[in-house]
Structure 1
């Protein structure tokens, strides 16, 4: 019995001695490591190489020049030549002819790409028609509609339906139409006198002197964000969309009324598209060549229409200066949101790809929706009459 106890005591002592040796070695190694100098095996900052795609390269330049650490500790003479590109801004706007040699397949690109690339650095254009007092009383909801000079019938249908300005559901609503210039080079008839008459009657048109084209919708976006801060910074919420959509203004106001403070401040909702990238098929309207852009797109709300807060509008205005213009405006807005650390929120009430055909003539199909695309001027007026009617009852 005593022999067994002795063996147990010896075993415990041996285990304790073994643990003591391991711990002692570990402590001594830690002390040695504390005084040992570690030399990194490779540089912490990798050498910045220019992207082969023009947009990506322009964004690299913007990111570099907006990095306060780099700019404080380096002089411009330290930068590689491609980082000292001075063609990022220009006012008044002049074509950047250097781009013809900086984009490898420039000469073979369609004309709309050449035009965009030549003027991609231009962000400021003269305003031709303004409404400086339209937000004298800050509206609860600002409806901003992208339109073209010839689209008088669409604007008029919106004024008579979902874009009626004034007080709706006890909330102040202001409607404006965002236009560029319909140039003779695009073979537009001269409708300037008609536009002046229209604006004198309705006083709701904002127009800038830039070529109003599909690829220049991004220009319209940044000019509008600037206009909001100058003329309508007190707007609580903003809806921005196309002139061929139907918007259920009643439903939007009802939705906004139920938002909490924090939710309202960061609001950006629409028909969100995720995991998308540029189309490489030249036959597609949204075709983008690899020489212009590589990579995936951030989540973005389809440009048919989306809803956001005045707070987000101010932040988008500030961050847009740090994002290179991109020829697809809704993707560009998604890029700006990503830069802010925000993500657009998908809402099933936004139907930018229409609803099933069998429901399109049913008034109740529109009661819970915020937006449907596309709709003709006649359809806008018809749907608005349905929703405004006192006898509409839906299950």
Structure 2
């Protein structure tokens, strides 16, 4: 027993001596010969200048990122941080001809890219048709459908089926259709009088005065996010989709009502695409030239349709001001989500690339799904009738 006590005392003594030596060495290392504390100065800046990317969009977005980071911006001059336009917005919107010398293969690009590049800094356009009181009672679910002026039959089919506004499943649902302007440049007939009649009758048309083209769907996205904050900030959830999809509104409401509060707050659900990148084949609708963008796309939900919370909508609206417009709207939304540190959630009920042909005439195939794309107006009405039939038995 005495031997154990001696060993314990010896062990404690050794530990204390080692601790004392460590303290002396630590204090000495921070002092110079005169006993003064040393100031360690880094040999190089912690944040170094970034190499400008060759692709036009990446280069301009890098400048925006630096402008919004005061630590990085301190290493750059005013000339370094100058965009081809003075800001992300221009109101009134004027054509930016500077891109003709900023994009290396500008002259060989398709016309739709030249048009996009000339106006990609513009994101403020006059509203032509509005429904300022449509969310007077904040809805549980806001259905926002991207449409075009001439798509009267698609809008009417949606009104008569899955987009019927009112109370569904004890929850308030509001429907709006999002339109741009059909211009003579695109050889559209003048349907403005018919559209105004439709708007007066149904009071669900939102239209802005911009060219309604495929590349301008991103403009429609940022304008809609602005509209939500001014006209419908109390919407609990938002579904946003195309006018050629069938949506099972009942399944969306069932899904939303079962969410916990934390889950609902950061909700963004759809048919998620990951590890994707730009198409380089000029014949493909989604072609993006290397002179415009390089790198992978962030995870994004296919633009056929997805839904998200009102809180996420407000955050998307805020962060979108720091993300340059991109020609593909669903990719752009994925970029904004990445800026927020959010990722879209995949749901197997979204079938943006359709279901197997053998199941398309089976009513029960649609009973558990949320979205199927594409469908004609006639098919939309037929599927809705199937799901509302009292004789439907999918056990």
Same fold (TM over 0.5): yes
Give the equivalent residue in structure 2 for 1:81. Answer: 79
1:116 has 2:116 as partner: yes
Give the equivalent residue in structure 2 for 1:33. Answer: 29
Change (3 A) 1:312 1:26: same
Q: Aligned to 1:81, what secondary structure does the other structure show?
A: coil
Q: Aligned to 2:322, what secondary structure does the other structure show?
A: coil
What TM-score, normalized by structure 2, do the two folds share?
A: 0.91
1:159-217 deviation line (CA, Å, top 9, x unaligned)? 11111111111111111100000000011111111111211211110000000000000
Q: In 2, Cα distance between the equivalents of 1:384 and 1:97?
A: 49
Give the equivalent residue in structure 2 for 1:231. Answer: 231
Q: In 2, Cα distance between the equivalents of 1:312 and 1:279?
A: 29
Change (3 A) 1:386 1:64: same
Give the equivalent residue in structure 2 for 1:273. Answer: 273
Give the equivalent residue in structure 1 for 2:54. Answer: 52
1:201-247 deviation line (CA, Å, top 9, x unaligned)? 11110000000000000000000000001101111110000000000
Q: Aligned to 1:287, what secondary structure does the other structure show?
A: coil
Q: Report how far residue 27 of structure 1 moved.
A: 5.6
Q: In 1, Cα distance between the equivalents of 2:354 and 2:129?
A: 33
Q: Aligned to 2:156, what secondary structure does the other structure show?
A: helix
Q: In 2, Cα distance between the equivalents of 1:87 and 1:318?
A: 16
Give the equivalent residue in structure 2 for 1:3. Answer: none
Q: In 2, Cα distance between the equivalents of 1:326 and 1:290?
A: 14
CA contact (8 A) 1:50 1:82 kept: no
1:248-302 deviation line (CA, Å, top 9, x unaligned)? 0011111111111111111110000111111111111111111111111111000
Listed as ranges, the gaps of 5+ residues in structure 1 are 1-8
1:43 has 2:45 as partner: yes
Matching of residues 1-395 of structure 1 within 5 Å: 29-35=25-31, 38-69=40-71, 79-85=77-83, 86=86, 88-395=88-395
CA contact (8 A) 2:88 2:321 kept: no
- How well do the aligned residues superpose, as a CA RMSD in angstroms? 2.3
Listed as ranges, the gaps of 5+ residues in structure 2 are 1-5, 32-37
CA contact (8 A) 2:235 2:310 kept: yes
Q: In 2, Cα distance between the equivalents of 1:20 and 1:257?
A: 63
Change (3 A) 1:19 1:256: closer
Q: In 2, Cα distance between the equivalents of 1:88 and 1:382?
A: 45
Q: In 1, Cα distance between the equivalents of 2:213 and 2:176?
A: 19
CA contact (8 A) 2:148 2:180 kept: yes
Give the equivalent residue in structure 1 for 2:34. Answer: none
Q: Aligned to 2:30, what secondary structure does the other structure show?
A: helix
Change (3 A) 1:371 1:26: same
CA contact (8 A) 2:154 2:244 kept: yes
Q: Aligned to 1:386, what secondary structure does the other structure show?
A: helix
Q: In 2, Cα distance between the equivalents of 1:109 and 1:271?
A: 31
Q: In 2, Cα distance between the equivalents of 1:188 and 1:140?
A: 36
Q: In 2, Cα distance between the equivalents of 1:222 and 1:372?
A: 25
Please, which moves more after superposition, 18-27 or 213-222? 18-27
1:26-47 deviation line (CA, Å, top 9, x unaligned)? 6655344333654534321212
Q: Report how far residue 50 of structure 1 moved.
A: 2.1
Please, which moves more after superposition, 130-139 or 87-96? 87-96
Give the equivalent residue in structure 2 for 1:4. Answer: none
Q: In 2, Cα distance between the equivalents of 1:168 and 1:18?
A: 77
Q: In 2, Cα distance between the equivalents of 1:80 and 1:124?
A: 26
What TM-score, normalized by structure 1, do the two folds share?
A: 0.91
Please, which moves more after superposition, 87-96 or 215-224? 87-96
Q: Report how far residue 22 of structure 1 moved.
A: 8.3
